[in-house]
Amino acid sequence: VVERLAKQEDWSNVHYLTRPDLSQQEKQWFKEAYKSPYKLYPPEKFLLKRGGNVVVEYVRVPVGTTRRQMIEKSFEAPEDEKDIAPFDLKKQWAWANKVLFGPQRDMKNYPSYVDPGTVPRPEIVHKFVPRSLFDAMVPYSGVTGFYVLSVGGVFALVGKGVIVSTYALSYFFYFGIAWAFTKLPPVRRFLDNRVPQLTNRLNEMYYVGPIQQKKDHISACIAAAQQTKDMIQQLPKLYDVQIENVDLQLENNYRDRLKQAFTEVKSRLDCQVALAATKAELEKDYMIDWITNQVVQNITPDLEKKNIQSCLAQLQTLSKSAKI
């Protein structure tokens, strides 16, 4: 009946809370999820009854819903707190603090984190002795009580044999005398001026100097590598320039050979023109000489005499007609 109703109502999945194959833990988990204030399931609870007895109890679950999704959804924020604007930091921090430091937080086993820098530190004397120890002994033995107790305690232990008096024990007294000597004002002023200088010198010699040298060496290597990188990047341009130079040389050679060929051809053509002109001149002179010779050869003495007489007659005629 439940399966048929599920098909009719188009329910994607049906969990039977009274099925025998469900464990008690799963049944309890479904009941708690159903009773959650942030409703994961529809508020309706369906009961199929037969004769007044509950046969099966079930709830509706969406398709593909896993247990992790159901748990995550059961811890969603209430509707009135979902509308907090993203830029409202005050309300966001208030809601986060309420969730983080709520009544369910186990502050005993999981206390809040405390920054060590904010914890007040006790006041100390002589670099390691707490001030509270001095203050506790002031009412009983005065301000020198701690010194008397410490020095007197050492002597008492030596006198009782707890600390065996050997040659090494004197080193501690020498150390104490030297430490007290350094507390004198002139010595302290000298050490305050000298120790920083010596420390800076040693620091410069054995720490800062080598590091600076190494930095300079690394900087020089980086600069050389950068220069090499730049040179490598300029290699294509260098190749283009070299190719252009070769092309210019080839062009120059081509033009030289072209000029040489032009000069040779021009000289040959000039020779042919001069030869033709000389031949024409020779032919002209030869024809003139030949014609002249032929004319001279054709003139006879009688013809020459007639020509002379004709010329004289023409001259006489001209002389008569001319006016002086």
Q: What does the pLDDT look like over 31-50, one tens digit per residue?
A: 555 444 433 333 333 333 33
Q: For 259-269, b where at least 16 C-beta lie within 10 A, e where not — what string? A: eeeeeeeeeee
- C-alpha pair distances (Å), 249 with each of 85, 125, 233: 76, 89, 26
**Cβ distance 95 to 77 under 8 Å?**
yes
Give whichever of 9-18, 107-116, 223-232, 295-304 has the largest mean pLDDT.
223-232
The kind and range of the H/E element at 285 are: helix 209-298
pLDDT band at 272 (very low <50, low <70, confident <90, very high): very high
**pLDDT higher for 126 or 87?**
126
Supply the mean pLDDT for the chain.
Answer: 75
Percent helix, percent strand, percent coil in the chain, to nearest 5: 70, 5, 25
- Domain residue spans in the chain? 2-87, 124-183, 285-321
User: 96 pLDDT band (50/70/90 cuts)?
Assistant: confident
Report whether pLDDT(16) > 60: no
Which of the four pLDDT bands, split at 50, 70 and 90, describes residue 70?
Answer: very low
Q: What span, in angstroms and rounded, lies between the C-alpha atoms of 293 and 242?
A: 76
Half-sphere exposure of 258 (CA within 13 A, CB side): 6
> In this structure, are residues 62 and 13 in contact, taking their beta carbons and an 8 Å threshold?
yes
pTM: 0.30
- Record the tokens describing residue 76, joined without a space: 């969603």
Question: What does the pLDDT average to over 124-151?
Answer: 86
CA proximity to 36, closest of 81, 70, 65 = 70
Q: Report the distance separating Cα 137 and Cα 148, nearest Å.
A: 11
Asked if 235 contacts 229 with a C-beta cutoff of 8 angstroms, the reply is: no
**In this structure, what token pair is assigned to residue 120?**
């007040």
Among the ranges given (38-42, 142-146, 229-233), the one the predictor scored with the smallest mean pLDDT: 38-42
Percent of the chain with pLDDT strictly greater than 70? 71
Residue range 97-116: mean pLDDT, rounded: 77
User: Once rounded to an integer, what is the mean pLDDT over residues 166-175?
Assistant: 82
Q: What single DSSP character describes residue 118?
A: G
User: How crowded is residue 254: how many other Cβ atoms within 10 Å of its Cβ?
Assistant: 10
